[in-house]
Amino acid sequence: MLQPAPPVLPPPSPSENRLLALLRRAGLLDWFLLGLIGVVALAYLIPDVGSKASPIPWKVITTAGVALIFFFYGLRLSLDKLRAGLRNWRLHVVVQLTTFVVFPLLALALRPLFVGKALDMWPSVFFLCTLPSTVSTSVVMVSIARGNLPAAIFNASISSLLGIVLTPLWTSLFLNTSAEGGNLWRLGLDLLWQVILPVVVGVLLNHRFGSFAEQHKGSLRISDQVVILLIVFTAFCESFAEGIFRSYQPRDIALLGLGMVVLYFLIFGVVWAVSRMLGFSRADRTVALFCGSKKSLVHGSVMASLLFPGMAATGLLLLPLMLYHALQIILASMMAQHMGRQAEAEKVA
């Protein structure tokens, strides 16, 4: 007996195509952002699976994953490219000072505004401000905006290396981390064998396996993101299991998100003004804007687990960073597209 033919679905209308393209360009269809929302929701539903009470050795899994992230990062890091990038020193100084000085000082200046329940959120915001810039996202945005791509690669790479030292330094000065007292030596060892040693080994092997890492950087990026999703999942499982978020309402989260938008545009405006004042070219100004305004969720997740081990509120610590990460992708995508179109129009003219 003949089976009825399946119904033929009509093709998407031009307006639907435009909507999907807009959402994808804005970063709203990025699987990693959706994955972050998913693992937080999963942690809320089954907190015991990822908490300390779970029989699954999450600590061992995430620790090994962190070491692999930094090993493959070092494997893609060429010393020749870093040496070549040293020439544009004024641009590098602006980017790194913005990332590691302006951001933290701004958080310190705004501390008096955090009152009541919001006071508990200030350490999370300060931790966000001490983190290095992203690597892949910064480079991609500079590429879309037709900026100075070699300078973007150099600054993003140097920022990641400086963050290994400067993030623990800032947090140890102003937050209650394991870097205080007798735990300083243990923190140094953790950073050494989980972060610094893998990076060094990767850099030393770059001349032999660097091309392999470049060819498979898409797959390696996915593996990095999977590790981060596991870290976020376990952090939020522990926070939900301990009831850390019970005193916070959706309105509080919305206000925090609004604050992250203000922070992003404030930094963007400062960098834009400084770049114009120093007479940077359009290509260099693009690097300063997109590398200086980013914060790395990869480094933040890793540093949170190292600097605040066993802390039930790690989920709360990562919340501003997750919001900022999502917003910086959405806002920067729109800005990069606009600046890229402007650059193309200037070429035609």
In a domain, 214, yes or no: yes
C-alpha 121, offset from chain centre = 19
Burial 233-268 (b: 16+ CB within 10 A, else e): bbbbbbbbbbebbeeeeeeeeeebbebbeebbeebb
Q: Count H helices and E strands in the chain, helices first.
A: 18, 0
Q: How many CB atoms lie within 10 A of CB 182?
A: 7
Confidence of residue 92 (pLDDT cuts 50, 70, 90): very high
**pLDDT average, residue stretch 23-45:** 71
> 260 with 323: CB under 8 angstroms?
yes
Confidence of residue 115 (pLDDT cuts 50, 70, 90): confident
Q: Which residue has the higher pLDDT, 64 or 98?
A: 98
In a domain, 93, yes or no: yes
Confidence of residue 105 (pLDDT cuts 50, 70, 90): very high
Number of structural domains found in the chain: 1
pLDDT over 50 (residue 27): no
pLDDT over 50 (residue 26): no
pLDDT over 60 (residue 182): no
pLDDT at 300: 84
> 237 with 49: CB under 8 angstroms?
yes
pLDDT at 128: 93
Q: How far is CA 64 from CA 71, 76, 228, 294, in A?
A: 11, 19, 12, 26
Q: From 192, 212, 194, 155, select the one nearest 70 (Cα to Cα).
A: 194
Give percent of the chain above pLDDT 70. 81
Average pLDDT of the chain, as a whole number: 78
> 160 with 276: CB under 8 angstroms?
no
Give percent of the chain above pLDDT 90. 18
The DSSP annotation for 302-322 comes to HHHHHHSTT-TTHHHHHHHHH
> 299 with 159: CB under 8 angstroms?
no
User: What token pair was written down for 16?
Assistant: 């639907």
Q: Of the ranges 29-43, 53-67, 282-296, 325-339, which is most confident?
A: 282-296
The rounded distance, in Å, linking the Cα atoms of 14 and 20 is 10
In a domain, 4, yes or no: no
The DSSP annotation for 10-22 comes to PPPPHHHHHHHHH
In a domain, 6, yes or no: no
pTM tops 0.75, yes or no: no
In a domain, 255, yes or no: yes
Q: Of the ranges 1-5, 227-231, 292-296, which is most confident?
A: 292-296
pLDDT tens for 241-274 read 777 677 678 888 888 889 999 999 999 999 999 9
Q: From 44, 1, 119, 85, select the one nearest 287 (Cα to Cα).
A: 85
> 140 with 334: CB under 8 angstroms?
no
pLDDT at 180: 46
pLDDT at 20: 52
In a domain, 348, yes or no: no
The rounded distance, in Å, linking the Cα atoms of 259 and 253 is 10
**pLDDT average, residue stretch 34-51:** 84
> 284 with 151: CB under 8 angstroms?
yes
In a domain, 249, yes or no: yes
pLDDT over 90 (residue 152): no
The enclosing domain of 46 has a CATH number of: 1.20.1530.20
Q: For residue 255, what are the domain limits?
A: 32-340
pLDDT over 70 (residue 40): yes
The rounded distance, in Å, linking the Cα atoms of 136 and 139 is 5
User: What token pair was written down for 227?
Assistant: 């590790």
pLDDT at 88: 83
The DSSP annotation for 191-222 comes to HIIIIIHHHHHHHHTHHHHHHHHHHTHHHHHH
User: What token pair was written down for 262?
Assistant: 């203000």
In a domain, 15, yes or no: no
pLDDT at 277: 94
pLDDT tens for 294-347 read 998 878 877 887 777 665 556 778 888 888 887 787 787 778 877 877 877 777
